[in-house]
Structure 1
Amino acid sequence: MTNEIVAFLDERKQTKLKKPGGKSVEEIESDFQIANWVASAARRAGQLSMVSHPGKFSHPDAKITPVLYVGQRVPDGYVRSGNVAAPHDVLGNAAALDVYAFLSIVLSDERSVLDHLESNSAVLRGMLGVEQDVFDQWRQGLLEIKSSDIVQKTDGGVKQVYFPVGDDYHLLSVLTPSGLVTENRNRIRDMKFSEEAKAAREARKKGEASETGLDDLFGLLTVRYGGTQPQNISKLNSNNAGEAWLLPSLPPTLARDHVRIPKRDFFETLRWDDQLKFIYTALHRIFRSDYTNINIRKARQQWFESIFEWVFCRAVVLQQLDPGWSDHESVRLPIAQKLWLDSGRLDQREDHDDWQQEIAESFSKWTVVTYRKLRKNLGDAAVLGQTEETAFAEELKAYARQMPEDIL
């Protein structure tokens, strides 16, 4: 059976043998024997403090009582200590951090050395190969990493707030949950830079589908702790190179949408955006494929529908304006477009049987014209020949003839 503790010490011993620092091989071999090394670690553990909320994030010189909060998981919907699986942090003498690394070793039962010490595990004692009295002595020394002063104290360098309690108040010290900060950073890093995210981002560039999809966060702020010495703040801060990412916690910036009223032709006022460019790019690739393949023909029709939905969404904006807006003398739209876009003309639609067909034909013409304009900027330099473009127009007209019932 693998002894994870032996493997841990052997790895550190091999590193030390490469840079002995004036020690002989015999001395190094002796230092890394289980009995000698663990006894030394037990004496040094008190130089470290395991914490959940370090005070040095507020000020590097702040000295407060170590705070180690272990919260219970409660389905209350809050992102807080206890509801998120996050690592604890450690403060103290950097030369003693090997003790923390030892306590963090995960054994074959998926429990850490620290967990075994807290439960007075016979399994751990067996792995260390010592009698109970020696194990108890080591255990007491190693658990000093979790000890705390009886008297709680804060520091003037820690941010403080007045919190009302009835007619009085508490003065609270605001501390940073470094474990949550680290977990937040890890999740954002995975979202942005994991192999799956890279593959999804590349697929988006190529206009291809992605099985995983792509999530992203914008407006992040990088805050740095500790300057060139992040290890002076905490172990987790050092692991994170002194950086944390803050999510924007601001009210949204709202601006009144300016609706552009069409004067002569609704379709002429449409301006393409990234979504429309994406649709036409996909359609363009299909045009360069086998024109007679039935699956490709179905795919083209799906993109026709996407273009129509894009247009329809912009028509809905006008339909939601005050009824009668098309009566203004400056508006000289075709009657079919007025009937479609002005909700004040709903009762006039029954007097014009062919207005929907006119809209469908206008849509067909606009789609072809827009394609001609956009294709110069599309992925490949290929241009449809006259025969292919005519076929495209005819196919689009056939689709448009089926549209009237969808034009409301």
Structure 2
Amino acid sequence: MGGIILAIEEFLIGRRNEFIEKEVAKEIKDKEQKYEKLIESFKDKELINDKVALEKKKLEEAALKAKKKAQPVADEKYDVKTWLRKVSTQAKPNIVTHPAKFTNPKIDTASSIIYHGEQHNDGYVRTGNVKLSVNVDVSGNSATNTIIFELYSLLGITLQDNKKVINYFEEDVKELVKYMSDMGIKYKDFKDKCLNVFYGMNSEQSTHEMVRQVYFPVNTPLADYHLLSAVTASMLMFEVKNRIDGFNRRVNGQNIRNLKKNNQFHGEGFDEIPNLTEIWFGYSSNEDASRFTKMGNVSLLNVRNQKAYLIPSIPPQIQQRQVRLPSQNFFKNSLNPKRFKDDFQPLDKLIRSDLNNIHIREGIRNCLKYLIDRVLQRAFAVRAFGVGWSQTEHYQNLPRAQRIWLDDAYLEQRQQEEEWLEEIVLAFANWILDSYELLFKQTCKQLSDYELREVKRYVELAVSDDQEFFK
């Protein structure tokens, strides 16, 4: 038997097996959930008792019963002759990638669009850029959406000679023509249907008043405006939904999220996307079965998935940077004296004291050391921002000494050179004195030149004592 015939029959065998698996899963869903909950209630797997074994046996028996029930239905549905004849008589070329009915199910005259796009690594989620598990959708007022989708899947299969099944119809391969004739199927009609399903039908493009539309004014001899009709790429929408659902993995019979809830470790962990909005496309059979079945008028993927997710599309929240990076001078750009006023208060009290003894002098030195420590914390926070931050164009006016001090990109110079340290110490001492004079203008005016020189000497001494911390 030739490769093309074998491909058709193997495809239908695969569809038959998938149909049985889905029917079995549907039949045993409640029993499976009951069994899983029972398993989860036993944290110590060695204590699993006969009750669990009994439930497992019931589950296996239910699965076997469901399979026996689904087998004859699947055998009839995917019998080669039956399936091909059904395609020949019932299949309608409703294959689309952007069904207009997603805007409104009442839309019935808009053109069917098949567009796969071209792949570009530009970072956008759009047609052509996403590796899709399902490449097309089926839309229209048709009860045979599933069989059309199956036909499209069959026609897209690539055989060993690197030809797709559709290519065999295009080339009118004798073996395929004879095979169809033996099945009692008119080959030419079947071929035309395959071509229309796979490539779409050539027809004049048309939109609909219910489709979202944007008008662009243009200045051409033929028209005054250009009309853009915006339609939904349903494959992208449901690809997102299925990938998010894929986060909901199971490990040893339980949802992986339960491991976190039970404070258990798992090497792979799990992903999740918060703040999702679910949009449903119908009603469950328990609520309104008649309304649920009308979902078929939108698209095949709509019925299969029943819902989609809307991911938040809002501007990112930009948090205010806690540390301001200096563009010209650390002591001016990153240190606001007013924020240090409470730290200068004890120093001001000691300086204005009429006493001049060892305790006052020691108190002044301790206040200065505390101020130095507070400023160094800011400097270390700037360093922690990242290696090489000062090398961008915005920070080119920052003095070299401050770059060495604040950017770990200059770590080697910081450890081996000494000139930068002298410049920083001097600038640090001047900032303390300038800030004190700014914050306490009234009292500073009452200080004599001698007292001011003494304060400066204490500052320089305190800064010099802490030079190792600057590195």
TM-score (normalizing by structure 2): 0.49
TM superposition shift of 1:32 = 6.1
Cα 1:9–1:324 change in 2 (3 A) is closer
- Is 1:50 aligned to 2:98, yes or no? no
CA contact (8 A) 1:55 1:175 kept: yes
Report how far residue 231 of structure 1 moved. Answer: 2.6
Any idea what SS the aligned residue of 2:124 has? coil
Measured at CA, do residues 148 and 119 of structure 1 come closer, stay the same or move farther in structure 2, by a change above 3 Å? same
Contact kept, 8 Å, 1:200 with 1:214, in 2: the verdict is yes
Is residue 2:179 matched to residue 1:129? yes
CA distance in 2, matches of 1:194, 1:31: 32
Structure 2 distance, partners of 1:9, 1:199, is: 30
CA 8–218 in structure 1, closer or farther in 2 if over 3 Å, else same: closer
- Shift, 1:122, TM fit: 8.0
Whether the aligned pair in 1 keeps the contact of 2:104 and 2:211 (CA below 8 Å) is yes
Is 1:193 paired with 2:248?
A: yes
After superposition, the Cα gap between the structure-2 partners of 1:153 and 1:122, relative to the gap in structure 1 and judged at 3 Å, is closer
Structure number, greater radius of gyration = 2
Q: Give, in whole Å, the separation in 1 of the partners of 2:464 and 2:262.
A: 45
Q: In structure 2, give the amino acid aligned to 1:206.
A: N
| Corresponding residue of 1:143 | 195
Which residue of 2 is the match for residue 312 of structure 1?
Answer: none
The structure 2 residue matched to 1:154, chosen from 201, 207, 211, is: 207
Give me the whole-angstrom Cα distance separating, in 1, the residues matched to 2:76 and 2:248.
Answer: 44
Q: What secondary structure, in the 3-state scheme, does the structure 2 residue paired with 1:56 have?
A: helix
Residues 226-265 of structure 1 show CA distances to partners (whole Å, capped at 9, x for unaligned) of 5544333111111111x22122221234576899xxxxxx
TM-superposed CA distance for 1:88, in Å, is 0.6
Q: For residues 212-227 of structure 1, what are the structure 2 equivalents within 5 Å?
A: 212=268, 214-226=270-282
> What do the CA deviations read for 1:155-205 (whole angstroms, capped 9, x no partner)?
111111113445843121110000111111122222x31348964883597
Q: Tell me if structure 2 keeps the 8 A contact 1:125–1:135.
A: no
Q: Who is 2:121 aligned against?
A: 75
Aligned residues: 291
Letter paired with 1:89:
D
Distance in 2 separating the partners of 1:32 and 1:119: 22
One-letter amino acid of the counterpart of residue 73, structure 1: Q
Report the equivalent of 1:245: 309
Work out the CA distance in 2 between the residues paired with 1:127 and 1:244. Answer: 42
Query: Is the aligned partner of 1:101 residue 2:150?
Result: yes
Change (3 A) 1:332 1:258: farther
* Helix, strand or coil at the partner of 1:193: coil
Letter aligned with residue 121 of structure 2: P
Q: CA deviation at 1:55?
A: 0.7
Which stretches in structure 1 are left out of the alignment for 5+ residues? 260-318, 357-403
Contact 1:39 1:138 in 2 (8 A): no
Q: Determine helix, strand or coil for the equivalent of 1:142.
A: helix
Please tell me whether residue 91 in structure 1 is matched to residue 139 in structure 2.
Answer: yes
Q: Per the alignment, do residues 80 and 36 of structure 1 end up closer, same or farther by CA in structure 2, a change over 3 Å counting? A: same
- For structure 2, the 5+ residue unaligned runs are 1-5, 24-66, 284-291, 324-332, 348-365, 379-426, 430-458
Q: Is the 8 A contact 1:54 1:176 kept in 2?
A: yes
Task: Considering fraction of residues, name the structure with more helix.
Answer: 2
Cα distance change on mapping 1:72 and 1:119 into 2, 3 Å:
farther
Q: Which amino acid aligns with 1:148?
A: M
Q: 3-state SS of the aligned residue for 2:100?
A: coil
- 2:227 equivalent to 1:116: no
Query: Following TM superposition, by how much is the alpha carbon of 1:152 offset from its aligned partner in structure 2, in angstroms?
Result: 1.4
**Alpha-carbon offset, residue 52 of structure 1:** 0.5
**1:151: how far off?**
1.7
CA distance in 2, matches of 1:124, 1:183: 39
